[in-house]
Amino acid sequence: MFRDTLRKMKIALAQLNYHIGNFDSNVRKIKDVIARAKEQNADLVIFAELTVCGYPPRDFLEFEDFITKCNESVEDIARECTGIAAIIGAPATNSNEKGKPLYNAAYFLRSGKVESVHHKYLLPNYDVFDENRYFEPAGSVSCIELEGTTIAVTICEDLWTYGNENLYSSSPMDELIKERPDLIVNLSASPFDYRHMEERKATFSNCARQFNLPLIFVNHVGAQTELIFDGGSFVLDSSGKMTNQLKMFEEDFQILDLNNPGNESSVQQYSKLELIHDALVLGIRDYFTKSGLKKAILGLSGGIDSAVTLALTSSALGKENVTALLLPSKFSSDHSVADAEQLCRTLGCPYEKISIEEINETFEKTLKPYFKDLPPDITEENVQARIRAVLLMGFANKFGHILLNTSNKSEKSVGYGTMYGDMAGGLAILGDVYKTEVFELAEYINRNEEIIPQNSIDKPPSAELRPDQKDVDSLPEYDILDKILFEYIENRNGPKELVEMGFSKELVNRVLKLVNMSEYKRFQAPPILRVSSKAFGMGRRMPIVGKYLS
């Protein structure tokens, strides 16, 4: 399981929440953990990928001053490493004349200085990753020697060949294993999606078994706008079994006792809904705290989406920091207003109620001479949605709130929303959660007591912009629609495959056409908290004016 030389070492794992470009905060956290590990007589403390600057730094990496601050921070941290060693992540300058100007690197710090630098070998360039834009791949790899132990240092993607053998033709472990390491260490910035933890475990377990070596995986935790990092750092023995796991969605620190390792039965298991719930709460909280914001506002309709958004945000920011605006019209049912008020009372959130009817009548009167005798259509519905957005933004501006967008992934997929109306906001909370999942999330929130009114869960979804309106008037039933969307968006199955799955050709073409024609709307939508393997935003890049099924 663990070799004798390794058992003699005390290794600390540091799972921290970093803030991109906030060098003072990041360095302080790293130094505090080094001091803590030193107090507990640790020999080595391991941090995550690009810890010094935060991940992903994106085009900040193109600024000379940013790289200078990275280098100065590494030197500052190195001075703390006396009587202890550390492995931290930071960019490294490429001194060669050719290639990208930087490496994604792991720095080995000991005796108050940088002892060696180890470059990332495999650079991901898919989904949310575009590391080839900034970094040069490692030209060579080497192990670290510490206290008689040989450590193979890898950085995130370097080990993902053991989960997807077809993605790369080689792995740095092919070279590192020649140095006969006792341990594999992986510094990661592995973003969350609700299926990813199991994929990680399988991938790294395959690697540990293949080389018959224990493996330590240290991940980021926290959110960086769209991307959420779930933590969950772990240790595997040489058979690929998990012996230790750090907390999910929280900062954590652990000194490993390799003489008395844990076992897989002690590792906490999480349901899909628990993961999504906790990820969204963390995503909301970090978006606000890292942006220096405190208060949020949203339109509360009495429907399921805004109800779940309010419940999540109340958990993230505190009930006193989330204001709900109830904006009924003549099409709003009495129970919708009552349900919204009941939710606010249950959560203890402040709310105001403003009828939009008089404002809407003024718009109709103003526009009537220009619309002449044209019959009412979606135009009048969109005007109502935009009136609500104006009122919400008025409150947001006046009181320093951020407007939350409450649209779900099903609606965003097919363009079932009003630009500059219900699509407005600074952050989309449910934009990566399908409508059927929103209902499941509501039930999860109500697992111990009724928080979201049962009527909000039971009633047929409706925008309530015309008499007796229902979502099914415009869309397929959500349980069918979401299955098609999931196969098309997450699994990238095209129309031929969808028809072979049993969906009618007419329905498939209708849904896919709606998705592809709505790209221009999503391009102008707020950032979305990513919880699936394929979210709208930085990980899904589609042409706005493409002609594929449009």
Which residues are identified as catalytic? 49, 120, 156
Amino acid identity, position 411: E
Structural Rg of the chain based on CA atoms? 26
Q: How many beta carbons lie within 10 A of that of residue 66, not counting itself? A: 16
CA pair distance 91, 97, nearest whole angstrom: 17
- 363-369, Cβ contacts within 8 angstroms, sequence gap of 24 or more: 363/387
Interior angle at CA 127, CA 418 and CA 48, nearest 5:
115
Strand partners, 104: 91
Neighbouring residues of 392: CB distance < 8 A, sequence distance ≥ 6 = 297, 298, 299, 325, 327, 403, 424
Element holding 162 (H helix, E strand): none
Query: Is 45 in contact with 82 (CB distance < 8 Å)?
Result: no
- 450-457, Cβ contacts within 8 angstroms, sequence gap of 24 or more: 450/346, 451/311, 451/343, 451/346, 451/347, 452/304, 452/307, 452/308, 452/311, 452/343, 453/307, 453/339, 453/342, 453/343, 455/335, 455/339, 456/302, 456/303, 456/304, 456/307, 456/339, 456/343, 457/304
> Residue 527 gets which letter from DSSP?
P
Q: How many beta carbons lie within 10 A of that of residue 269, not counting itself? A: 5
CA pair distance 522, 25, nearest whole angstrom: 34
Helix axes 435-445, 478-489, angle to 10 degrees: 110
Query: Is 412 in contact with 525 (CB distance < 8 Å)?
Result: yes
CA pair distance 65, 300, nearest whole angstrom: 44
